[in-house]
Amino acid sequence: MAVGKEILDTLHALVDRDITLMHICGTHEAAIARAGLRSVLPERLKIVMGPGCPVCITPQGEIDAALDLVERDCTIATYGDLLRVPGTKGSLESSGGDVRVVQGIHKAAEIARREPDREVVFISVGFETTAPTVAATILSRPPENFSILSCHRLVPPAMAWLLGQGEASLDGFLLPGHVCAVMGYEEYERFPVPQVVAGFEPEDILLGLLMAVQQVREGAHRVENAYPRVVTREGNVKAKRLMYEVFEPYDVEWRGFPVIPASGLRLKPEFEGYDAQKKYDIEIRHVDKHSACICDKVLRGIARPSDCKLFGKVCTPRTPVGPCMVSHEGACKIWHLYESRRA
């Protein structure tokens, strides 16, 4: 890591104050943990993971809604990452219903086409990376026995909330590379805080950190692109257009967060027929948390997985207590993987 060494030396020379940077991406967390970057960074530079795991930020009320759909005898199709996320009464995996893992929404629509007697509901989680794939499928007019439970969330409104609220004392952000591959980074320019779109090699991440640290020192705030190989300012224009043709933003709660204005995506009225919540009259209830799980704090960037009393003891990937230990993009799952390797 010759280039990395140089960047790292520069970072050590530049960090002369406490700086906290947040990234919002499970793949960033995995890359950081895998390369052991935190252990070589300057002591005063802290990297925290924010709400960058779509499965983790899906509140329990929406998991419960998926379980309600099982009870209505629907066939549930969704991503493998969601199966073991605990709801109030068990998980999709333990529900005993007809639950099928699919690669993406197009495969769920195929099931509906193949099995016209079944009511097929796709549990649709994901950020802006994923929502356009759902939009494209809805626009292809799947059969009537197909619908989705839209659990989609948008990243910028959560950033706005974190900045307004201030509990994590953030000095800047590494922006999520794949969200920005689709959306570009124009809409992030309104945030008065240092931001860098970063790639996924250790060198890419170090470079992103360096650029953000330089901005902090200068007292500057702009969006810089350290990942021009994949990300452009305008992103994928076609994907964005399809997404807003089908979805509209609405106010919704995130796990660990209160209701964040315009942070969710729901189907527009003309696609209501595909909205499982309306079709089956499902109510999404707010569920207060009762366990010792601190996923909420981990997602807000104010606690690390290892701060949780249950981490690695009661809560493991085999016996997950919270969603952060279930999803491949969850901070707890990622930390558990690399800690158990190092031990």
Q: Which stretch binds ligand SF4 (CB under 6 A): 67-75, 204-212, 221-229, 308-316?
A: 308-316
| Least distance in angstroms from the C-beta of 163 to ligand SF4 | 24
Q: Which three-class secondary structure state does DSSP give residue 259?
A: strand
Cα–Cα dist 20/180, whole Å:
22
User: Judged by CB under 6 A, does residue 48 bind ligand SF4?
Assistant: no
Alpha helices in the chain (DSSP H): 2-14, 26-35, 37-40, 54-57, 60-71, 105-114, 131-139, 155-165, 177-183, 202-218, 237-246, 276-279, 295-299, 331-342
Cα–Cα dist 201/273, whole Å:
43
- Residues from 197 through 216 that contact other proteins (CB under 8 A): 199-201
Question: Which member of 61, 236, 245, 284 binds other proteins (CB under 8 A)?
Answer: 236
User: Judged by CB under 6 A, does residue 47 bind ligand SF4?
Assistant: no
Question: Which member of 55, 146, 311, 329 binds ligand SF4 (CB under 6 A)?
Answer: 311
Largest CA distance in the chain: 66
DSSP codes, 176-241: PHHHHHHH-SGGGTTSSS-EEE--SSHHHHHHHHHHHHHHHHHT---EEES-TTT--SS--HHHHH
Question: Which member of 113, 238, 285, 309 binds other proteins (CB under 8 A)?
Answer: 238
| Least distance in angstroms from the C-beta of 44 to other proteins | 27
User: Judged by CB under 6 A, does residue 59 bind ligand SF4?
Assistant: no
Token code pair at residue 138: 């809805």
Which secondary-structure segment (H or E) carries 262?
strand 257-267
169 contacts: CB under 8 Å, gap ≥ 6: 20
Question: Which member of 235, 256, 264, 305 binds other proteins (CB under 8 A)?
Answer: 235
User: Judged by CB under 6 A, does residue 310 bind ligand SF4?
Assistant: yes
Cα–Cα dist 75/98, whole Å:
5
- Residues from 280 through 299 that contact ligand SF4 (CB under 6 A): 293-295, 298
Question: Which member of 46, 252, 327, 332 binds other proteins (CB under 8 A)?
Answer: 327
- Residues from 139 through 178 that contact other proteins (CB under 8 A): 140, 176, 178
Q: Which three-class secondary structure state does DSSP give residue 70?
A: helix
User: Judged by CB under 8 A, does residue 329 bind other proteins?
Assistant: yes
Q: Which is nearer to other proteins, 229 or 313 (CB)?
A: 229
Cα–Cα dist 228/236, whole Å:
14
Q: Which is nearer to ligand SF4, 123 or 310 (CB)?
A: 310
Where on the chain is the footprint of other proteins (CB under 8 A)?
A: 25-27, 30-31, 34, 52-55, 79, 81, 103-107, 125-127, 129-130, 132-133, 136-137, 140, 176, 178-179, 181-182, 199-201, 229-230, 235-236, 238-239, 242, 327-329, 334, 337-338
Binding residues (CB under 6 A) for ligand SF4: these are 293-295, 298, 305, 308, 310-311, 315, 321-322, 324-325, 332
